């Protein structure tokens, strides 16, 4: 996992929020995938840090959730 990336570096990615976040946003995360990793950030602090995990780790997380 790499947490050094900022959202400015990942600004050209297509970010997605959960459909459960509603129109008001709420407390949720956004994710964006590229060919190698999945980027995860706080939807309330989009200019803040971004966590990167491998696609395999993300698939495992989603499978357990």
Say yes or no to pLDDT of 63 above 60: yes
Tokens standing for residue 33: 């995938």
pLDDT in tens, 7-43: 555 668 899 887 766 666 567 889 999 988 999 998 8
Q: How far apart are CA 32 and CA 15, in angstroms?
A: 5
Please state, as a whole number, how many other Cβ atoms lie within 10 Å of the Cβ of residue 42: 16
For residue 55, the model assigns a pLDDT of 94
* Residues whose CB is less than 8 angstroms from the CB of residue 47 and which lie 6 or more positions away in sequence, other chains included: 6, 7, 8
For residue 5, the model assigns a pLDDT of 55
Global pTM reads: 0.74
Estimate to the nearest angstrom the gap between the alpha carbon of 16 and the chain centroid: 8
For residue 10, the model assigns a pLDDT of 66
């Amino acid at each position: 996992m790499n947490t050094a990336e900022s959202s400015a570096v990942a600004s050209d990615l297509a970010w997605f929020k959960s459909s459960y976040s509603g129109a008001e946003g709420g407390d949720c995360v956004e994710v964006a995938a590229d060919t190698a990793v999945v980027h995860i950030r706080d939807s309330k602090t989009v200019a803040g840090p971004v966590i990167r995990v491998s696609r395999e780790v993300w698939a495992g997380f989603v499978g357990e959730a």
